[in-house]
Amino acid sequence: MAHGPATLADGWRAYISRWVFTTNHKDIGTLYLWFSFAMFLMGGAFAMVIRAELFQPGMQLIRPEFFNQMTTMHGLVMVFGAIMPAFVGLANWMIPLMIGAPDMALPRMNNLSFWILPFAFAILTSTLFMEGGGPNFGWTFYAPLSTTYAPESVNFFIFAIHIMGASSIMGSINIIATVMNMRAPGMTYMKMPLFVWTWVITAFLLVAVMPVLAGAVTMMLMDINFGTSFFDAAGGGDPVLFQHVFWFFGHPEVYIIILPAFGVVSQIIPTFSRKPLFGYSSMVYATAAIAFLSFVVWAHHMFTVGMPIAGELYFMYATMLIAVPTGVKVFNWITTMYKGSLTFETPMLFSIAFVILFTFGGFTGLMLSIAAADMQYHDTYFVVAHFHYVMVAGAVFSGTAAIYYWLPKWCGKMYNETMGQVQFWVAFIGFNIAFMPQHFLGLAGMPRRYADYGLQFADWNMVSSIGAFIYGGAQIMLLYNVIATIRNGKPTTEEKTWEGAEGLEWTVPSPAPYHTFAKPPEFK
């Protein structure tokens, strides 16, 4: 035990203790990544249930009550269980390596922030087996659906959200402290890798808005159990207040999900273009601008509640303003590739797909931001298609790119390039077959969150379901690729896995030793 971490050879007791009590940023990063992948598969299984039921009109497989629980749990698990912990895992692994720190600033808090997460999701998932079922009010849990009309299990849901919030806040404080205090000598803020920049901005967003979510569920808890009337119109409250509080959290939340994805892509595209990132400082300022604007646009999610016209116009223009810094980023990525010596390894394929599909999702977002047009699009499958283009083709594609990109550094083995590229094409094609038709369904008027639909929507729903099954299969391939790499991948010991890669993480051996940068590295 004196040297390095316990392995299975030291006995299972020592091995389990290592993971439970670990304060090593790489161990905790690994835990986060595996946990989020498990949640990703679970949320994906819920999505498969949804798409199987929607394969044909009419009710075939499940009851509508269960369908509602599936849509709700799919959203909650994917947002809070899959995407957010996946990027926290990447942050844990990569930020200390990228800034030349020996570990995260607060290792024990790091351990705590991970290990409360499995409990939160055990509580949340257990509600599915309770009398009355799990949460069935949509992942946005609007009152009074989630208060007056909620199943009994809602209190477990509220408690689970509290734990997730505590975990995120601790994780963020850790990242902020690490980046502020542990950078290698010579690494000024404007020399940090962009992934570090996007994460530190994300961490500030998390510290600011996760407590607002905690406040929203606390008010729900009091309305349900302690006789207050925050959201109950009958008692002098207002259900619309819930929507304001929720989206005051919820809109920054979507940038919490996407900003680290921007960071990942900003690392990968320069590597495979063999050029430095174009417009580094504009990328930093654009990220900060997006983060700032995310606080002042929340009501564009609720154009249909009956806002005064001045409010609709303000939120419409403010929302459109976000397209400007986002456009800066997209143009910078394209300009980085322009006249570069491009090669198309799997991480690069996922990153380019990210740029294309995320931009597409951004444009449908612009359509939705038009208050007058939103009256038609609101709560239709057009919205579902829009946010899956930005969340899946955005966050999940960039997360997948990150896995392929840093996997050789993590485990010292190279993935099989052919298998990686096959997985990319299956994912890319499956994704577009699944979600492109949902735009058509939404424009034709199909509402979201229903277990059944009119016959006129039948064909595109079948196409969408087939695409969803293909995309689901692509994730099993990803799991296979990762396990096959860890077990049988071609060993690679080069420090610099990728020819064009830059940064401190490529100056340590592969696989990265358990302890790195015990002495701060030289950084010019």
Partner 1 sequence: MSTDASNRRVVVKSLFGAAGMFAFAIFVLPPMYDLFCEITGLGGKTGDEYTAVDVRVDTSREVRVRFVASNNASMPWVFKPTQDSVVVHPGEPTEITYFAHNVTDEDMVSQAIPSLVPNNVADYFHKTECFCFENQPLAAGDQADLKLVFIIDPDLPAGVNSVTLSYTIFDITDRVADPIAQL
Element (H, E) at 517: none
- Mark whether 301 is an active-site residue: yes
Token look-up 């259900």 returns 239
Catalytic-labelled residue, pool 51, 162, 275, 301 = 301
Contact 440, 127 (CB under 8 A): no
**Is residue 105 a contact point for partner 1 (CB under 8 A)?**
yes
**Is residue 238 a contact point for partner 1 (CB under 8 A)?**
yes
| Cα 427 from Cα 349, distance rounded (Å) | 11
Token digits of residue 105: 């600033």
DSSP code per residue over 262-317: HHHHHHHHHHHHTSPPTTHHHHHHHHHHHHHHGGG-GGGGGGGGT--HHHHHHHHH
- Mark whether 386 is an active-site residue: no
| Sign of the CA dihedral running 26, 32, 33, 35 | positive
**Is residue 355 a contact point for partner 1 (CB under 8 A)?**
no
Contact 183, 192 (CB under 8 A): yes
- Mark whether 448 is an active-site residue: yes
- Mark whether 167 is an active-site residue: yes
> Shortest gap between Cβ of 208 and partner 1 (angstroms)?
6
What mask of x and - would describe binding to partner 1 in positions 145 to 184, judged by CB under 8 A? ---x--------------------x--xx--xx--xxx--
1 residue type, one letter: M
Among candidates 142, 138, 134, which has minimal Cα distance to 160? 134
Catalytic-labelled residue, pool 36, 168, 294, 351 = 168
For residue 59, give Cα distances in angstroms to 62, 66, 68, 72, 278.
7, 11, 13, 18, 52
> Shortest gap between Cβ of 507 and partner 1 (angstroms)?
22
- Mark whether 17 is an active-site residue: no
Contact 112, 170 (CB under 8 A): yes
> Shortest gap between Cβ of 222 and partner 1 (angstroms)?
9
Rounded to 5 degrees, what angle do the CA atoms 346, 352, 355 make?
A: 145
Query: Please, which residue, 208 or 395, has the CB nearer to partner 1?
Result: 208
Query: Please, which residue, 54 or 169, has the CB nearer to partner 1?
Result: 169
Length of the chain measured in residues = 524
- Mark whether 300 is an active-site residue: yes
Member of 54, 98, 210, 395 binding partner 1 (CB under 8 A): 210
Query: Please, which residue, 186 or 235, has the CB nearer to partner 1?
Result: 235
**Is residue 245 a contact point for partner 1 (CB under 8 A)?**
yes
Catalytic-labelled residue, pool 139, 314, 450, 506 = 139
Q: Which residues contact 456 (CB under 8 A, 6 or more apart)?
A: 444
Query: Please, which residue, 2 or 309, has the CB nearer to partner 1?
Result: 309
Member of 154, 160, 219, 220 binding partner 1 (CB under 8 A): 219
Which 181-200 residues touch partner 1, going by CB under 8 A? 181-182
**Is residue 91 a contact point for partner 1 (CB under 8 A)?**
no
**Is residue 205 a contact point for partner 1 (CB under 8 A)?**
no
Element (H, E) at 60: none
Catalytic-labelled residue, pool 22, 125, 147, 167 = 167
* Core vs surface per residue 367-381: b (16+ CB within 10 A) or e: ebbbbeebeebbebb
**Is residue 236 a contact point for partner 1 (CB under 8 A)?**
yes
Residues contacting partner 1: total by CB under 8 A:
37
Among candidates 63, 91, 276, 109, which has minimal Cα distance to 202? 91
**Is residue 28 a contact point for partner 1 (CB under 8 A)?**
no
Member of 1, 308, 418, 488 binding partner 1 (CB under 8 A): 308
Rounded to 5 degrees, what angle do the CA atoms 478, 482, 485 make?
A: 135
**Is residue 296 a contact point for partner 1 (CB under 8 A)?**
no
DSSP 8-class letter at 252: H
- Mark whether 345 is an active-site residue: no
Query: Please, which residue, 210 or 353, has the CB nearer to partner 1?
Result: 210
Tell me if residue 515 falls in helix, strand or coil: coil
| Cα 223 from Cα 483, distance rounded (Å) | 47
Catalytic-labelled residue, pool 25, 26, 51, 74 = 74
> Shortest gap between Cβ of 219 and partner 1 (angstroms)?
6
Catalytic-labelled residue, pool 253, 312, 374, 505 = 253
Query: Please, which residue, 74 or 183, has the CB nearer to partner 1?
Result: 183
Q: Which residues are catalytic?
A: 74, 103, 139, 167-168, 251, 253, 255, 266, 300-301, 326, 329, 448
Which residues sit at the interface with partner 1, rule CB under 8 A? 105-106, 109, 148, 169, 172-173, 176-177, 180-182, 207-212, 214-216, 218-219, 230, 233-238, 240-241, 244-245, 248, 306, 308
